[in-house]
Amino acid sequence: MTPTSGRRLPWDWYDGAIPANVHVSSSAYVETAYSFALCRSSRIGAVMIGDGASTYLGTMFDVGPEGRVTLGEYTLVHGARIICDREVSIGDYALVSWNVVLMDTYRVPFDPEARRRAVRAVPTGQPRRLDHGGPGRPIRIGRAAWIGFDSCVLPGVTIGEGAVVGARSVVTDDVAPFTIVAGNPARLVRRLTAQEMADGR
């Protein structure tokens, strides 16, 4: 990455910098510091981007005050929205396609009256944001997993090593390693063959 002084990216169109509590490996690529415009975490290592990992335009790290996001080595995230109030970890060699949403929190109350109160408070809030602040449930994406475009992974889900999530799926439950799931809600399509597993490693 090699940011210039002040943690600016020399190729960046955005007039901002990578936050001081974000670690980006020197061999990783971040297309724009705008990806961190919604990163509010006060934690050291709020976002950790590993060796050879890449994030491209449209990727947003929407990380709350206690959140932490980790991208493993050679992981590629292309235009995903990562909503994190606790922890989102993406393993080495994983692929996360465009318009994927990873959310470890709903950020709104489930109770209808509490939700109405929260919505009514938005216009007078500073910043103007709907942020319930409820507890997050970690999301874990395993090594060499692949998440297709427009998919949504909900709080508390673990996606196993080498698993494939079909495009436009809504993942509500854990996905076993080396399986293919798809749909809304995502369901098992099939298990990967021994040859497919060998090729993927």
Q: Where are the domains of the chain?
A: 49-200
Q: Does 1 have pLDDT greater than 70? A: no
pLDDT of res. 6: 58
pLDDT at 131: 66
Predicted pLDDT of residue 11: 93
- pLDDT at residue 2, rounded to an integer: 47
Residue with tokens 């996606």: 159
Summarize pLDDT for 86-132 with one digit per residue, the tens: 999 999 999 999 999 999 998 777 778 877 887 787 787 766 666 66
Q: At which residue do the structure tokens 């990727």 appear?
A: 59
- CB-side neighbour CA atoms (13 Å) of 174: 10
Query: What's the rounded Cα separation, in Å, for the pair 172 and 181?
Result: 11
Q: What are phi and psi of 67, to 5 degrees?
A: -85, 160
pLDDT, residue 197, reads: 73
Q: Mean of the per-residue pLDDT values for the chain?
A: 90
* 65-75 confidence digits (pLDDT tens): 999 999 999 99
**Residue 28 in this model has a pLDDT that exceeds 60:** yes
pLDDT attached to residue 4 = 45
Dump pLDDT digits (tens) for 126-154: 666 666 666 789 999 999 999 999 999 99
Separation CA 169–CA 101 (nearest Å): 10
- Span 49-200 CATH architecture: 3 Solenoid (2.160)
Predicted local distance difference test score (pLDDT) of residue 90 = 98
**Three-state SS at 120:** helix
Q: What percent of the chain has pLDDT over 90?
A: 74
Binned at pLDDT 50, 70 and 90, residue 200 comes out as: low
DSSP one-letter string for 7-52? TB-TT-SSS----TTEEE-TT-EES-GGGGTT----STTSEEE-TT
The string of pLDDT tens digits covering residues 38-56 is 999 999 999 999 999 999 9
Choice between 197 and 15, residue whose per-residue pLDDT is larger: 15
pTM for this prediction: 0.88
